[in-house]
Chains A and B, each alone.
Chain A
Amino acid sequence: MTAERAIAQDVEASVRQEQEHNEADNSKFGFIVFLLSESVIFLSFFVGYIVYKTTAIDWYPLGVTGLDVSAPRINTIVLVSSSFIIYVAERYLHDQKLWGFRLFLLATIAMGSYFLYGQVVEWRSLSFGFTSGLFGGTFYLLTGFHGLHVLTGILLQGLMLSRSFFPGNYDNGFFGVEATSLFWHFVDVIWIILFVLIYVWQ
């Protein structure tokens, strides 16, 4: 009985080891699959926007002639460059330089928060609302849905920052940080398309 038990425990241990090895790999694969799927939601909204813009009779609400691009342009530059900053943070982590990682992650959080702040300022300055026709609806839908993703990204980065202080947090690899970073790049790419559609193509 004890011999059998020992063999069984051996089997058990090897299984666990193999599972932990595969888990991070699977998680990364699964996360990419999820992001691809998520991008279809944005794609659908974009298609909706294009259809409305090209077919609507009254596209802009009364009194609206277009959007001011100057502030959103700065916002865009901040968000796009934050993608590089989080990449630098990730490199620091791979080189085991925790403080560099934390510093650059904090910088990413600051830039993301600035983007959200800029978004809110812009929303408050606009003369139209969510229910102001198709333009108002699609504008707030796209920027709002994207803003939710930015907020999620910032929360994830905050979580990664606080978890970096736990001892032994990176014993099983950097999957959490990699996923956060990937998510941030995703949010960034979506914003570029969104910016082109809403602000550049007027």
Chain B
Amino acid sequence: MTNISLEAMDGVRAQPYPGAPDNWKRFFTFSTDHKVIGIQYIVTSFFFFLVGGLLSMIMRGELISPDTDLVDRTVYNALFTMHGSIMLFLWTFPVLVGLSNYLVPLMIGARDMAFPRLNAVSFWLIPVVGVLMISSFLIPGGPSQAGWWAYPPVSLQNPTGNLINGQVLWILAVAISGVSSIMGGVNFVTTIFKMRAPGMTWFRTPAFVWAVLAAQMIQLYGLPALTAGAVMLLLDLTVGTSFFAPERGGNPILYQHFFWFYSHPAVYVMVLPVFGIFSELLPVHARKPLFGYRVIAVSSVLITGISALVWVHHMFASATPSWMRILFMVSSMLVGVPTGIKVFGWVATIWGGKIRLTTPMLFALGGIINFVFAGVTGIMLASVPIDIHVNNTYFVVGHFHYVIYGAIVFGIYAGIYHWFPKITGRLYYEGLGKVHFVLTFLGTLLTFLPMHAAGLMGMPRRVASYDPEFAFWNVLASLGGFLLGISTLPFILNMVSSWILGEKAGDNPWRAIGLEWLTSSPPSVENFEEIPTVIAAPYGYGSNEPLVAANPNPGLIQSTSFLIQSPESEVL
């Protein structure tokens, strides 16, 4: 037997696998293994997802009746500000960075990210951001009340007069989150450009990797603009400069430009990896190659380009001149082209495929349906007349929650379920997963669809009390919100119990094609015994063409037979 057993490799490397029962402590250390960091990101951000969700349920509790009865107005302002900030900076961004961190090196056949220590520093800044954000509840005056946009002059009010106020903590937290994201961006871009396995040309690189690259390039060109705006806002707030303070001659509109120049593309930073997840999942669970793989891959980069030219559509009602409105209306609608290409490609991928309705597939399909709906309302909002009409109403809230919850969170769930066997080496419970999907899908529908109706009737956003004529839709949305809260319980139960007690998954339970499925589950510390040489394009379902020249893990007998139906795969 010439195979090197995995135990022997372990002995040499003296590091047990992540996920092994005896080494859970590794997740609490400054580990530089991209897989440990990925799990750290995912679990930490999920905690903040629960915190942000709790805040939103308090808000929905307030809004279940038209009067201000549950919380004070100022508390309500703080709640929506922190809900938005936590959900974006502490859940959606980091959880996707976590998934990308775990998957990108595996998918491109690398042993780790390009800068493992920088990677660990990026992660450990996230808890700091979380502590800063949440500690603003404990200081006099409470958290920022200016919304996650922090528009001046509201964000410059500082009612307590203290130097350490909610808004200052908010800016510091966002700045640290920005530092973490820039480090991550540099790391991902370098990893994807420089560390792809031999033979992995651009058009042999998985669509998910393309999407992560496109998303991280947005971070690199967009985030510095927000940083510049945040520095100026912080100086206005603390030193007393006059950049954005109108009473001192400043220009608050300029802040809006800085803010949205990053924060609109930021939506694509979040949604692009989710597009990547859809593109990876559908071929596996429909047993067909990804339709139009090259076009889907390139359309990610197209989105990166177009997304730099659309930000003013958030400012149609901010005294924007009409030539600018028309220009940005057209550019915003152009985003529909590359995203439409992707949706077309996904539909064509599952068309006539052998579809397995597993939990990840259900979440992916549900996510695509929600995304199409969100895309339609997005085109509506991009058109100036409709936007002026529904500006700052619940229609906008409904639209972007359909994007962020309906598409992005669904995609995150899909990704977590799909790669759970790879990450933990165990199978999740399919039944619980389906319960989770049904609750989440119904909850999303019930929460966010009524918001569109309330918004079209004219209900403004960011209010703690409202006219009783909106009550019906708000009761529905509140019930849906509580349902979404409940929907996380089967997920948590499923993840925890199956990680501890779940059935062993084997290396490739989905019989998927991809470099990450050619290594063990969970992968060993440096992923592959030998760096694989890629000889074919990805998604070779239905053809007998091998993906790599030689098995990168000669120690694993199972993974050589990934095209042969093994008894294990029958389970699914």
Contacts and interface: CB of A to CB of B under 8 A. Distances in A.
B194 A29 contact: yes
Contact of B250 (A26, A37, A134): A134
Interface in B107-163: 111, 114-115
Interface string A33-62: 110111111011100100110011110000
B173 to A, nearest CB: 19
B500 to A, nearest CB: 30
Given A4-B5, A44-B228, A133 B248 contact: yes
B240 A131 contact: yes
Nearest to A46: B228
A127 interface: no
B225 A40 contact: yes
Nearest to B11: A5
Majority secondary structure of chain B interface residues (helix, strand, loop or mixed): helix
B530 interface: yes
B185 A37 contact: yes
Given A4-B4, A131-B240, A134-B250, A30 B190 contact: yes
B4 A8 contact: yes
Nearest to B530: A11
Contact of A51 (B190, B242, B251): B251
A30 B5 contact: no
Interface string A9-41: 101100100010010011101100110111111
Nearest to B185: A37
A196 interface: no
Nearest to A137: B241
B455 interface: no
A15 B526 contact: yes
Given A12-B13, A29-B194, A37-B221, A48 B529 contact: no
B241 A130 contact: yes
Interface in B235-261: 235, 239-243, 248-251, 254, 258, 261
A34 B182 contact: yes
B224 interface: yes
A30 B241 contact: no
B249 A134 contact: yes
A141 B12 contact: no
Contacts of B222: 40
Interface in A108-157: 130-131, 133-134, 136-138, 141, 145
Question: Which of A19, A25, A30 is packed against the most chain B CB atoms within 10 Å?
Answer: A30
A56 B231 CA distance: 20
Contacts of A159: none
A30 B113 CA distance: 12
A130 B182 CA distance: 28
Given A15-B111, A57-B249, A134-B250, A44 B229 contact: yes
A7 interface: yes
Contact of A45 (B9, B190, B228, B529): B228
A129 B70 CA distance: 47
Contacts of B243: 48, 52, 134, 137-138, 141
Given A5-B11, A29-B193, A37-B221, A56 B249 contact: yes
B482 to A, nearest CB: 42
Contacts of A8: 4, 8-9, 11-12
A44 B195 CA distance: 32
B58 to A, nearest CB: 36
Contacts of A137: 232, 235, 241-243
Contacts of B240: 131
Contacts of B227: 41, 44
A131 B242 contact: yes
Contacts of B563: none
Contact of B242 (A22, A37, A134): A134
B536 interface: no
Given A37-B182, A57-B249, A133-B242, A9 B12 contact: yes
Interface string B182-211: 100111011001110000000000000000
A26 B190 contact: yes
A33 B189 contact: yes
Contact of B232 (A1, A11, A34, A48): A48
A141 B229 CA distance: 12
Contacts of A51: 251, 254
B249 A7 contact: no
B250 A33 contact: no
A40 B221 contact: yes
Given A9-B12, A22-B195, A26-B115, A41 B186 contact: no
Nearest to A19: B111
Contacts of B471: none
Nearest to A138: B243
Contacts of B258: 44, 48
Contacts of B215: none
Nearest to B222: A40
B186 A30 contact: yes
A57 to B, nearest CB: 7
Contacts of A39: 224
Given A30-B186, A133-B249, A48 B228 contact: yes
Given A37-B185, A44-B225, A133-B248, A4 B8 contact: yes
B50 interface: no
A34 B243 CA distance: 27
A30 B115 contact: yes
B220 interface: yes
A57 B248 CA distance: 11
16 contacts: A8-B8, A15-B111, A30-B114, A34-B182, A37-B182, A39-B224, A40-B221, A40-B222, A43-B225, A44-B227, A44-B229, A57-B249, A130-B239, A131-B242, A136-B241, A141-B241
Given A29-B194, A37-B221, A48-B258, 19 more contacts: A4-B5, A8-B4, A8-B12, A12-B13, A22-B195, A27-B115, A29-B193, A30-B115, A37-B220, A39-B224, A41-B224, A41-B225, A44-B261, A45-B228, A48-B228, A57-B249, A130-B241, A133-B242, A136-B241
7 nearest A-B pairs in the assembled complex, by CB-CB distance: A44-B228, A40-B224, A137-B241, A30-B190, A41-B224, A37-B220, A8-B12
